[in-house]
Amino acid sequence: MARNEDVTVIKKYANRRLYNTGTSTYVTLENLALMVKNNEEFVVQDAKSGEDITHSVLTQIIFEQENKGGQNLMPIAFLRQLIRFYGDQMQMVIPGYLEQSMSAFAKEQESFREQMTGAMTQTPMKLMEAQVRRNTEMFRRAMTMFNPFVAGALGEADGEGEANGARTGGSAGSRDDDLKSMREQLQRMQERLEAIDSKDASKQG
């Protein structure tokens, strides 16, 4: 579906009513959810202050959708993991990683549908393993979007990361801790991929 380049302004009033300035009508969260599904761009502003409150309104839409029977998209384990990242040093990476993951999934959704219908030739485990590989690569790319010392953590040589850290300034000890944590995260993901590769090799042998 083609994306509508016009951005509609939704005004939210103190009584929590939402007003669509494009259609000059009051709308509900359900209406906004439908606009999202139809690829209609909009921003939500506080009617009094003009503050952009789109994030909080979209979060509210997700909350309502999750509370509808049979429509849970977020597993409990995922919610727990997400909560753990708040305040964590890896928090800055998560938004970019999730955005890239969802964007890639949306682009590949037709392929996923075909894979699911052809599950007789491809087991669900293989589909999950392929997704783990894609997610790992997106995680790497997401981290390089941030500070240079983050990109340095992904380099092959420690000297590269140290040089980048020196250019960014700040506490060397703090940078070392951040780099160590990020390396450990990547190492765990790498070990998981190697385990998958080893299992595939043993099956082929």
Q: Which domain holds residue 25?
A: 4-66
Strand 18-20 with 4-12, pairing: antiparallel
Greater pLDDT, 119 or 158: 119
Domain boundary among 21, 37, 66: 66
174 phi and psi angles, rounded to 5 deg: -65, -40
What CA–CA distance (Å, rounded) separates 97 from 182? 14
Same-domain pairing of 81 and 103? yes
Q: Tell me, what's the pLDDT at 106?
A: 78
Query: Quick one: average pLDDT of 142-168?
Result: 50
52 phi and psi angles, rounded to 5 deg: -75, 115
Would residue 71 count as lying in a domain?
no
State yes or no: pLDDT of 73 exceeds 60.
Answer: yes
- Dump pLDDT digits (tens) for 11-36: 999 998 999 999 999 999 999 999 99
What CA–CA distance (Å, rounded) separates 114 from 108? 10
Report the number of distinct structural domains present in the chain.
2
pTM for this model (two decimals): 0.54
Q: Tell me, what's the pLDDT at 51?
A: 97
Would residue 145 count as lying in a domain?
yes
Would residue 149 count as lying in a domain?
yes
